[in-house]
Structure 1
Amino acid sequence: MGELEPDPAQMRISDADRHRVAEILREAAGEGRLDLDELEERLGATYAARTYADLVPITLDLPVAGAATLPAQVSRAQASPVVPGPESESHVAILGGFDRKGVWIVPERLSVFAMMGGADLDLREAKFAAQEVVITVNCFMGGAQITVGPHVNVVMEGTGIMGGYSGPGDKVPAELDAGSPTVRVRGVAVWGGVAVERKALKRR
């Protein structure tokens, strides 16, 4: 019985690997490919990374030079959607907005309160701190838009009071497998609404 071949994508990275990716990000920001917010988010994800698979999506939309820091055997398709990340985050949008998009890490528990304001969460390029994450959105005269990709399972558990919670329809079909993360959406919408929409992955 032969020995199992190690998965290169799951090999632990060194500080030198993190520094190389960080330098790629800084160069991309200097060239105008990333704004300061994106740079900060990706640097955070870089220094939180533990394996080569964690690093792959961070440079996914940058020039091919970014991939040179990873072993040749690690393909982008091998990147796991689950990476080390925060257990919980809480955000408030009152008479204003809160949004997350691009490359970021969805914590295991994310809570958003919107009053006469709104939240826009785009998970299409996000990684997840757990195989199942819970997003709780409570809104009063406000709302939230949550966008997921084809490979994310969505469970709707919200309640609308003179408002509504709506899940992804079948406009873009789900493409789920055993490794697909689950996003559980909870909360109460009073005179407001929370909508989850499934869209195709962004093309670069």
Structure 2
Amino acid sequence: MDLEKQPQQPVAPAEPPPAGIRASDADRDRIADILRDAMAEGRLTAEEHAERIDLVYRAKTLGELEPLVRDLPAPGATAPQTGARPYAYGPEGPAGPADNLVAIFSSSTRKGRWRVGGRTNAFSLFGSVEIDLTEALFGQRLTVINATSIFGSVEIKVPQNISLRGSGTGVFGNFEVMTLESADPEAPVVVVNGYSVFGSVEAKPKRGKFIADLHDQLRKHLGR
């Protein structure tokens, strides 16, 4: 006997998990990525980004994470732009651990032609750290540098025509970021966060260094 075909029942949409569920590291990283993109698009200031990121990694439940991105568009909601990209960032590599530069009673320097990761941690204790981005290749638009100086110094140099932002504190020391806003909305954004104790953290443009020429060379290398 042939069985009559039963009409398919509509599938109910999946309900979001309860707000009281404990948040995982992946949940926090997902929210942090949304905040990172929002700051790169100018939706959040560097101070707002730093405040929300602090709350992200303090959050214990999903209910504490959701309000931090409630006023931001969902990932991918913005229509993609067409046409040639003004900056040849190159393919972004997979997310990985942050680059670390540590100087304890010593010095650590990163300069020349090198590929900048999305996150860099710089720590100086009775030492000096120098990060020179003027000839670096940016694999992504937003680069975050977390700088800590205790009885030492962290110096960051950037090209003149990128956006440079920062948020930090000096305790019996100096924390200075020379804010820049590029006229090009696609220019790289470098954000410096951190603090200094009896030391200094400085981020400023290097006179005469511009990123456009470097990216023209990268386009030629990539055949774009």
- TM-score, with structure 2 as normaliser: 0.50
The 1:149–1:81 alpha-carbon spacing in structure 2 relative to 1, beyond 3 Å, is farther
How does 1:1-204 map onto structure 2 within 5 Å?
Answer: 80-81=88-89, 83-85=91-93, 87=96, 88-168=98-178, 175-199=182-206, 200-201=208-209
Judge conservation of contact 2:164–2:181 (CA < 8 Å) in 1.
no
> 2: CA distance between counterparts of 1:81 and 1:183?
14
The 1:162–1:82 alpha-carbon spacing in structure 2 relative to 1, beyond 3 Å, is farther
- Which of the pair has more CA radius of gyration? 2
SS in 1 for 2:131: strand
> 2: CA distance between counterparts of 1:79 and 1:152?
11
Size of the alignment, in residue pairs? 125
Segments of structure 1 that go 5 or more residues without pairing to the other structure are 1-76
> 2: CA distance between counterparts of 1:150 and 1:107?
20
C-alpha distance after superposition, 1:19-66 (max 9, x if no partner): xxxxxxxxxxxxxxxxxxxxxxxxxxxxxxxxxxxxxxxxxxxxxxxx
The 1:126–1:102 alpha-carbon spacing in structure 2 relative to 1, beyond 3 Å, is same
> 2: CA distance between counterparts of 1:174 and 1:147?
15
SS in 2 for 1:158: strand
Percentage of identical aligned residues: 28
1:180: how far off? 0.6
